[in-house]
Amino acid sequence: MDEFNGEFTSAAVRDLADTYRRWLDMGYLAIGLAFMLNIVDATVDALRAVRCGRGILFKASPSLQLASRVAPLE
């Protein structure tokens, strides 16, 4: 006696399992795509907010700040 009481064949069960697995994979892809689009949207909004006013320019550059004062030696 099988676990499905003869209602489903093993091929039908295998086909349903493959279908649901495909849907699960597509769901993961859709979530990943939505996440990437969210990152792109946030980046574009951030860059647009930096250049919002006339004459206002934001310039970022790396810098190295060294300690200019050293404690005197006693």
- 35-73 pLDDT, tens per residue? 999 999 988 888 876 665 566 666 667 776 666 666 666
Place of tokens 């907010």: 49
Q: Is residue 14 part of a domain?
A: no
Q: Is residue 49 part of a domain?
A: yes
Quickly list H helices, 1-74: 10-50
Closest CA to 58 of 46, 74, 42, 67: 46
Whether 6 shows a pLDDT value over 90: the answer reads: no
Give the model's pLDDT for residue 2.
65
Mean pLDDT, rounded, for 14-43: 95
Please state the domain count of the chain: 1
- The model carries a pTM of 0.54
Closest CA to 60 of 73, 46, 70, 42: 46
Q: Is residue 5 part of a domain?
A: no
Question: Does 24 or 62 have the greater pLDDT score?
Answer: 24
Q: Is residue 37 part of a domain?
A: yes
Write out the residue range of the structural domain in which residue 30 sits.
25-57
Question: Does 62 or 31 have the greater pLDDT score?
Answer: 31
